[in-house]
């Protein structure tokens, strides 16, 4: 019986893998686009830090943005991830400021990260650093947005893909 059970488990596993493969091969076109725009002069650790913080803002901005939890074949459960791809772009400080203004003007919700936030150590201090400066004086090092594809594309036009 033990060998038969293993064969049945292997067969079920193969079926699940085929189903997952078929799902992975299906082209999905999203109505929205998620973009993180980073200032091009950041150090690698800063790029990663800013991207992580900005994506936490995107992921928590609407209840349906993340999928179901992941589960491996052994039954271990992992946290859900964002349902759609994220595009990482870079640009100069002027482009970040322009993109911020355009996004707000078009009603696109934004997550922001300023240079001053690198010297803070907790959420309240981050918010205080942002609130201490007018919108046009923010020393932006990164912004993230999610909105209609065509609108987001126009906002970030001219930025380069991160390399």
**CATH number of the domain where residue 42 is located:** 3.40.1490.10
CB 114 within 8 A of CB 155: no
Q: What do you get for the CA distance between the two ends of the chain, in Å?
A: 54
Query: Per-residue b/e over 145-163, b at no fewer than 16 CB within 10 Å?
Result: bbbeeebbeebbeebeeee
Number of domains the chain contains: 1
118 domain residue, yes or no? yes
- Greater confidence (121 vs 1) lies with 121
What confidence score (pLDDT) does residue 30 get? 86
12 domain residue, yes or no? no
* Structural domain containing residue 157: 30-161
What's the mean pLDDT when you consider all of the chain?
A: 88
Indicate the pLDDT class of residue 57, thresholds 50, 70 and 90. very high
pLDDT single digits (tens) 132-161? 999 999 999 999 999 999 999 999 999 999
pTM to 2 decimal places: 0.81
Rounded-to-integer distance, Cα 109 and Cα 87, Å: 16
2 domain residue, yes or no? no
45 domain residue, yes or no? yes
pLDDT single digits (tens) 5-54? 444 444 444 444 445 545 555 677 889 999 999 999 999 999 999 999 99
16 domain residue, yes or no? no
74 domain residue, yes or no? yes
């Amino acid at each position: 019986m033990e060998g038969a059970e293993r064969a049945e488990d292997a067969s079920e596993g193969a079926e699940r893998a085929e189903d997952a493969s078929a799902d992975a091969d299906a082209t999905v076109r999203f109505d929205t686009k998620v973009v993180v725009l980073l200032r091009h002069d950041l150090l690698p650790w800063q790029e990663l830090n800013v991207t992580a913080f900005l994506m936490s803002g995107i992921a928590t901005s609407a209840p349906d943005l993340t999928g179901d939890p992941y589960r491996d074949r052994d039954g271990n459960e992992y946290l859900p991830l964002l349902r759609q791809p994220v595009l990482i772009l870079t640009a100069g400080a002027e482009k970040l400021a322009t993109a911020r203004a355009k996004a707000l003007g078009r009603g696109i919700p934004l997550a922001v990260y300023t240079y001053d936030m690198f010297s803070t150590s907790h959420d309240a201090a981050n918010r205080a650093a942002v609130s201490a400066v007018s919108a046009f004086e923010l020393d932006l090092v990164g912004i993230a947005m999610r909105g209609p594809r065509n609108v987001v594309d126009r906002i970030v036009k001219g930025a380069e893909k991160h390399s």
